[in-house]
Every structure is written in C-alpha cells, then in structure tokens.
Chain A
Amino acid sequence: SYELTQPPSVSVSPGQTASITCSGNNLNKKYTYWYHQKPGQSPVLVIYDDNKRPSGIPERFSGANSGNTATLTISGIQAMDEGDYYCQVWDSSIVIFGGGTKVTVL
C-alpha cells in the first residue's frame, strides 16, 4: 500500500520559514493536500492540488510537489501556525494521510 512519510517535528523561530516535507513514491504524479490541526481542533485544509490556497488561508502558506517529495512552506511563521500538519493523497481510490509533523514556533 502507498505510504507518505513526514518528519515527526519541525522547530522554527517566529518570523522565519518552516518547510515540512512529505515523501512518497512518484508523489509528483498525484495531487497533494495539506491540513493544519491545532490541539483539540479539527484539521483545516491549507493547501490543495499541490499549491493552491483555499479562501481564507494566508499567503504565507505555499506548497510544491516535485519528484518524490511535496513541501509545505510557511513563510514568516507566527505563533498561531503551531500544531500538527498532515499531507494527504489519493491512491487507488483510498485516502492516504502522512503521519503528521508537529510544528513548534520557538
């Protein structure tokens, strides 16, 4: 079965740039989606179709997908951006989530 691999954690200082990777076989052949989950809350879509932002998502969130790796970039990170981030793809009609990355803003 298809697997997505994310780093368990990323730490970054306020105002800096956080990059979260998601790796999978030939990932660039699939659309990647990214979700942000704050403690005790439901996940929220922040990037769809590799690099598109839903309405209401700040411009500091961007996405890219090349080769075997998709990347979510948060530029000028803020304290409110802390939480868990999950990547997601479709494979053989199944929703696949990455294991999640905990982002800490130091």
Chain B
Amino acid sequence: QVQLQESGPGLVKPSQTLSLTCTVSGGSISSGSHYWSWIRQPAGKGLEWIGRIYTTGSTYYNPSLKSRVSISVDTSKNQFFLKLTSMTAADTAVYYCARGGSSHPVDPWGQGTLVTVSS
C-alpha cells in the first residue's frame, strides 16, 4: 500500500523559498500511470491544489501560483519535490503531497506538514 510522507522546514522567512520533499513508500513512484500532486490548506480553510508532476518530469501548475511554483521528481529516490518562491504570510498552510493529479482521484494523501511564514 502506497504511503507518502512530507518533509521540510516548518518555518520560512518572508520572501524566502519553501522547499518540501515527498517520499513515497510501499511502491515505485514510476509504476502505473500516476501523477503526483502538492496541495495546501491554510488553517481553518479549504483545499488548494498547487500542481502535479508525472514521472517523466511533465508538470502542470495551478495558474494562481504558476509564477512561483516548481515541482520536480527523483525517481531513483522515490521522491518528488515542491519549491515555492517569494513566500508571504498568505502561504502559511499545511502542505500535503498525494498521488493523483490527472483524471484520477487524489489518493492517498500524506499526513501533511505545517509551514509557517514568519520573520
């Protein structure tokens, strides 16, 4: 059974770049026709899809974040990554990684990691 785990800094200063890693276990990130996504959720608010990547490296981003987002993958390590530049307080949220991102449900999800933007 595939499981995902996010890792990265819990605190980021304003204007800095957030870097998160999602480690996939219980299966190969390259197996099946799966996409891999990042999603975030500010405290007390709803879910916002950030973007997705396929194991070939093909990406698609939410237009609202496209100018600041980069998602990459390392199939040898069974990991994919999120970079979000020019962080502000509005980017404070729980960040989730998940399998899915194109014509399939988003499932399963990682446990999420809280990222706070503060000086």
Q: Report A's interface with B, CB cutoff 8 A.
A: 1, 33, 35, 42-45, 48-49, 54, 86, 88, 90, 93-100
Contact = CB atoms under 8 A, between A and B. Distances in A.
Contacts of A86: 46-47
B47 A94 contact: no
Given A93-B102, A99-B46, A45 B60 contact: no
B102 to A, nearest CB: 7
A42 B47 contact: no
Interface of B: 37, 39, 46-49, 52, 60, 62-63, 96, 101-103, 105-112
B96 A42 contact: yes
Given A44-B109, A95-B37, A95-B106, 15 more contacts: A1-B63, A33-B105, A35-B106, A42-B108, A43-B109, A45-B106, A45-B107, A45-B108, A48-B105, A49-B105, A86-B47, A95-B39, A95-B52, A95-B101, A97-B47
Nearest to B109: A42
A54 B99 CA distance: 15
A40 B111 CA distance: 9
Given A42-B96, A43-B109, A90 B46 contact: no
